[in-house]
Chain A
Amino acid sequence: MSIGRVTQRMLTDGSLDNLQRGLGRLARIQEQLSTGRVINRPSDNPTGTTAAMRLRGSLADQAQYSRNAQDGLGWLTQVDAALDSVTGTVKRARDLALQGANASAAGPVAREALAIEVEGLRAELLSRANTTYLDSPVFGGVTAGPVAYDATGAYVGTLGDVNRRIADGVVVKVDVDGPDAFGDGATSVFAELDALATALRAGDQAGISAGINVLNARIETVTAARTAAGTRFQRLEQADLAAADARISLENQLSTIENADLAETTVDLKLQEVAYQAALAATSRVMQPSLLDFLR
């Protein structure tokens, strides 16, 4: 700007403007420091705002995936523990059947004892089959009722997948359908044990050996169901870890976009402070002199 003629008012107005601008810059940095954020409103950085909103969305998603995976892990832990004990129980029943087959001549009292123990195992299995997690039977599908199997061994659950969303577009089933492990009604493990108990009482060798075969097959069925559940357990664990990792990296990105660099902002503040003080000093000097000071 070329200045031909300078008036006192120009100086006053100009100084006031400059002081205002300096104070405005100071206020802006002050805001960044006190909020700790460089984006305090969308217009501060529209693109950054969108990125920050997207990152916040992803963060919320990942936190939810993590929660979902944790919940799924709870279900599958319960399923795994139940199936583990079921395998043991069925094996024990098979052992008893083998004893019964070998000791067929031992007399009705010994066979009766075996039969009673088998019936005890059946009761234990029933309680395992009705294992719950947070009041829901884990083998009962989506049933609203408290049990998956009734006392007769009939499946009373509602078949349906209990799913957990553990990543974008990834859904994992966290329960095991009761019939897949225990069978249903006449083909259920309960009916098999009932038949075994009956065969043991009667000393029916053919029935006992058929029971042994059936129980062997049942052990395999349960193990297969448990393996499948174990694989899904692993998937959930991995998803949980991945979600946790993603959260850390997303938080870092969000901080880079949204948060003020403390060192940089503090240095900026200092710079603006110095500039403002210089403007004040200059103003006080410019305002003072006039020709009148030098005329007597």
Chain B
Amino acid sequence: MPGSFGSITSALSALRYQQVALDVAGNNIANATTDGYVRRRVVGEAVSSAAPALWSRYDGHGEGVAVGEVRRMVDPLLDTRVRREHGMLSWLTSSQEVLARVEEGIGEPGENGVHAALLAFRNSWQDLATNPGGDAARQQVLGSAETLAQALRLQVANVAGEEADQRVRLNNVVSEVNTAAAGLAQLNQSILVTEQNGTDAGVLRDQRDQLALRLAELAGAVTTVRADGQYDVTVGGEALVSGREAGAFVVASGVTPAGDADGLPITFRVDASWGSTVLPSGAAGAGGELGGVTDVLTTALPSYRTGLDAIAADLASALNAQHVLGYDAAGAAGGPFFSYDPLVGAASLQVAITDPALVAASSVTGGGRDGANADALSRAGDAADAYQRLVNGFGTTVASLQRQSANQTALTGSLDDAREQQAGVNLDEETVNMVTAQRAYEAAARLMTTLDEVLDTLINRTGVVGR
């Protein structure tokens, strides 16, 4: 037989519980647009002291309600997928942005690019062939050669400038990785301590999930959850964060702290109390933005630059070989037409002749007005073909990256949607929760009033017959 005041306790527990429900709904609404906030839900538990016993019997019907837990609506499996795909997306977009920027500087197909300069150069030799005696035609050859050399040098400078920018960016990303890893290790510790105190660590968990996602975006880091709830983070298979300890992520070779190239392939290393390990290179190594930047710095940009170098080298050697076979306006044998340093590359391509009379248009000695060598020079080398192939290759790379990142954006978007379905705040839902809690609170208060009246009847109106 429950006591007379038992129900008052139930009503009190209901009032308390609904208060919490209102708090949680209010907090959800307040954070409806907060990045990384995961909605909470109050899980109530009916309280009962009923227990199986041999000699005593519980004849109550429950003693109200208590807050079981305030649950963060996360799906660890989904979060893992979100992190993986975000890492991939940031790899693709960061490399695509870089290459697209370089591509804008190519200016093909058009009238101002290297190809147009090559054609103008070729035709200026033909014009000289038709008028080998004219100073103007000789000057035109030198002018168009300078334009061509300049166009090639400009493109190489564009690529080299982009490479320098990306090396600086690489260092910045590495330092951001370290900050995020240290923050995550710190949070691991805080969450453990806070939850042992029995305090709700939901906000800390939100922050930790955000850092884990950021690490995935920055370096393609993979996060695994330990049995005790702490996050371990690995990059390229090597542990970066283990519990409350974070290793130092450093550039092992390839880029100096000042952002210069040191001639070695780019590699990374994790220095930690559990050892110092160099990460594998390529797709097995760091991913995310770091992987994308490393990739363009290792393959796409250098290969385009060496392609330009090869074109400049072929152009210089083909033109020089043909030019020395001819004779200049005075009848003397021609010297080299272009100067080129194979150690420096296309950036060193210069026209070696400044005096128009030294252009060796003639194929006969003795200073005749012959243009046969100019004609041969117009056909020397196949720089135009090589350049077409190079531009085609680069354009194909950029186009395929664009397609891939468009696909990846769609995939990541749908995963983000799925995560939002799980963790996002729906204002209608919270309003309903709020109204429900409000009504339940009112009902509990009414219960209290009812009990009060019952007790009033019992205490004040019992045994007063005939009074």
Contact = CB atoms under 8 A, between A and B. Distances in A.
B395 interface: yes
Nearest to A58: B119
Contact of B375 (A43, A63, A163): A163
A228 interface: no
Contacts of A61: 122
Given A60-B122, A64-B123, A142-B368, A7 B106 contact: no
A136 interface: yes
Given A44-B399, A163-B371, A164-B130, 20 more contacts: A7-B427, A8-B424, A39-B109, A42-B394, A45-B395, A50-B388, A50-B392, A56-B116, A60-B120, A68-B126, A134-B134, A136-B133, A141-B368, A142-B368, A143-B369, A158-B368, A160-B370, A171-B375, A291-B432, A295-B431
Given A8-B32, A8-B426, A13-B416, A160 B133 contact: no
12 contacts: A7-B421, A8-B427, A41-B103, A42-B392, A42-B395, A43-B402, A44-B395, A49-B392, A53-B391, A67-B130, A68-B130, A291-B432
**Max count, chain A CB within 10 A of own CB: residue among B130, B366, B432:** B130
Contact of A9 (B33, B119, B364, B394): B33
Nearest to B397: A43
Contacts of A63: 123
Nearest to A10: B420
Interface in B172-187: none
Given A10-B417, A41-B395, A141-B368, A53 B428 contact: no
Interface in A49-82: 49-50, 52-54, 56-57, 60-61, 63-64, 67-68, 71-72
A6 B109 contact: no
Nearest to B431: A291
A8 B428 CA distance: 9
B413 interface: yes
Nearest to A48: B109
Contact of B115 (A1, A3, A5, A56): A56
Nearest to A168: B379
A288 to B, nearest CB: 12
Interface string B125-165: 01101111110000000000000000000000000000000
Interface in B340-396: 362, 364, 366-372, 375, 378, 384, 387-389, 391-392, 394-396
3 A-B pairs closest in CB distance: A42-B395, A7-B424, A43-B398
**Max count, chain A CB within 10 A of own CB: residue among B103, B132, B392:** B392
B417 A14 contact: yes
A287 B384 CA distance: 56
Contacts of A56: 109, 115-116, 119
A46 B104 CA distance: 14
Contact of B104 (A41, A50, A60, A68): A41
A4 interface: yes
Contacts of A54: 388
Question: Which bucket holds chain A's interface residue count?
Answer: 35 or more
A68 B387 CA distance: 26
Contact of A67 (B127, B399, B420, B435): B127
A46 B368 contact: no
B129 A165 contact: yes
B427 A290 contact: yes
A251 interface: no
Contacts of B427: 7-8, 290-292
Contacts of A161: 372
Contact of B108 (A49, A162, A290): A49
Contact of B364 (A44, A45, A46, A142): A142
Nearest to B391: A42
A27 interface: no
A42 B391 CA distance: 7
Contacts of A135: 133
B414 interface: yes
Contacts of B106: 41-42
A46 B123 contact: no
Given A291-B432, A292-B427, A295-B435, A144 B103 contact: no
B425 A134 contact: no
A114 B367 CA distance: 42
